[in-house]
């Protein structure tokens, strides 16, 4: 592949790379730097031997962003302050405002409290549906350890009150409303509870039970749950609002929900016995 073709292929992936870097770094200016560094590495390496260019580029921009986060942490910078001051790299205050609009100021603030590895694992998995076996080498962990990083990050995101002042009690109400709408087959109510870009994922055991491995978007997820979830009941999943389906008193499927801004942004259907055994499941607080 000549340089012009390589540059053209890279430009096709640029929007996704920028989106990943912006959510990891929380800065449009730094994201542009990360994307540029990713291009320089591709140009230096060439596309020879790269079977999945999109996956390769996402891995590289993830590693570059992780190194930038670690460098920021070692300098003890205030990332929110840096975002306010930074207009370098061709970005403008409007770019930064657009980032806040797309991610949400409350979520950006919470993300800034995470370790670099937690933040990257959460963003790549919960926002971009990257599997943990691909995230693991980026954060230099095993897939199981990468899952724990994302789980810890998700727990902090859920526990932190958002801009509307929602917390665990409100999240429990969202779960109950979601289950009620599912059982009633109320499609419109389901849509009102789901983020437009919600992701639903199922692990291998869940897929073996008939669930789709990945569903994107509120309409698809609402259609999946409409008229279902009859056996599911609200529960605390590792201290966060979620749901569980039990058979003979034993959990068979856990609905691990991410709720931000009063809407469900991700649903993980967990059915692997090893995974279920590692979860702390409790009745919801009343």
| pTM, 2 dp | 0.62
Q: Is 276 helix (H, G, I), strand (E, B) or coil?
A: helix
What DSSP element (H or E) covers 12?
helix 3-25
Q: Give pLDDT tens digits for 219-277.
A: 999 999 999 888 999 998 877 789 999 998 899 999 988 887 788 988 989 999 988 88
Q: Give pLDDT tens digits for 167-213.
A: 567 788 999 999 999 999 999 999 999 988 898 989 899 999 999 99
Question: Under CATH, to which class is 168-282 assigned?
Answer: alpha beta
- Phi, psi (5° rounding) for residue 53? -65, -40
Equal CATH topology for 3-159 and 168-282 = no
Sheet holding 263-270, edge to edge: 214-216, 194-202, 263-270, 250-260, 240-247, 232-237, 281-282
Question: Under CATH, to which class is 3-159 assigned?
Answer: mainly alpha
Q: Residue 62: which residues within 8 A CB-CB, separation 6 or more?
A: 20, 24, 120, 124, 135, 138
Q: Where are the domains of the chain?
A: 3-159, 168-282
């Amino acid at each position: 592949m000549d340089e012009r073709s390589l540059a053209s292929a890279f430009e096709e992936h640029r929007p996704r790379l920028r989106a990943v870097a912006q959510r990891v770094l929380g800065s449009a200016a730094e994201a542009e730097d990360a994307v540029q560094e990713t291009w320089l590495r591709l140009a230096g390496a060439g596309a020879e031997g790269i079977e999945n260019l999109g996956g390769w580029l996402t891995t590289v921009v993830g590693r570059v962003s992780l190194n930038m986060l670690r460098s920021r942490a070692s300098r003890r910078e205030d990332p929110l302050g840096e975002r306010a001051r930074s207009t370098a790299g061709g970005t403008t205050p409007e770019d930064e405002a657009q980032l806040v609009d797309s991610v949400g100021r409350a979520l950006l603030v919470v993300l800034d409290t995470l370790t670099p590895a937690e933040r990257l694992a959460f963003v790549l998995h919960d926002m971009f549906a990257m599997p943990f076996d691909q995230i693991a080498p980026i954060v230099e962990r095993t897939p199981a350890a990468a899952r724990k990083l994302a789980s810890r990050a998700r727990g902090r995101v859920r526990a932190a009150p958002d801009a509307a002042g929602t917390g665990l009690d409100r999240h429990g109400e969202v779960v109950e409303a979601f289950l009620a709408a599912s059982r009633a087959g109320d499609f419109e109510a389901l849509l009102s509870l789901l983020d437009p870009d919600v992701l639903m994922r199922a692990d291998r055991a869940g897929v073996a039970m008939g669930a789709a491995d990945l569903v994107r978007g509120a309409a698809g997820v609402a259609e999946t749950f409409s008229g279902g979830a009859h056996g599911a009941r609200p529960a605390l999943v590792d201290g966060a609002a979620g749901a569980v389906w039990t058979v003979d008193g034993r959990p068979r499927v856990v609905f691990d929900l991410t709720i931000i801004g009063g809407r469900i942004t991700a649903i993980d259907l967990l059915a692997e016995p090893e995974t279920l055994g590692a979860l702390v499941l409790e009745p919801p607080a009343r």
